[in-house]
Amino acid sequence: MTKEEIVAKLPYGDPFLFVDRITEVSQTHIKGEFTFKDTCDFYKGHFVNFPVTPGVLLLECMMQIGLVSLGIYLLRDKGFDLRSNSTVAMVENEARFYKPVFPNDTVTVESDLQYFRFHKLKSKVKMLNEAGEVVCQGIFSGILKPGDAES
């Protein structure tokens, strides 16, 4: 499975897709990028005259790259298709925020697998800004379950 195929299999679309590209992927690691463009609607009101990317959207970006994209790769031979026959849900996250992300900032998300069993994926995920500084990091887990035909 190519990096482009992983992104194509994500069950998100504009304006809620927070993955531009996957740059690395293996059985235990994934790395990807996203640019928070200044044209995003949420910047109009979060904070007036000083737009900052909402933390919940940083978490979503981290989940989309660090868990869902990695899960798609790990389940690539199992008929896993989030767009039609499978489910995904965040179970828990423990994140700490260190730096803001502003309009037009490009972030890099890196995720290292801790475990994947019984449909639960847990990873150590961090987001870096363009200067290589940690924006936020934490432990994330989610359920990635193939549809009934594949269970």
Distant-in-sequence, close-in-space partners of 63: CB < 8 Å, separation ≥ 6: 90, 93, 125, 140, 142
Could you report how far apart the first and last alpha carbons of the chain are, in Å? Answer: 21
Catalytic residue check, 46:
yes
Q: Which of 3, 21, 29, 46 is catalytic?
A: 46
| CA separation for the pair 120, 150 (Å, rounded) | 16
Beta strands in the chain (DSSP E): 21-25, 29-36, 87-97, 105-117, 120-128, 134-145
Active-site positions read 46
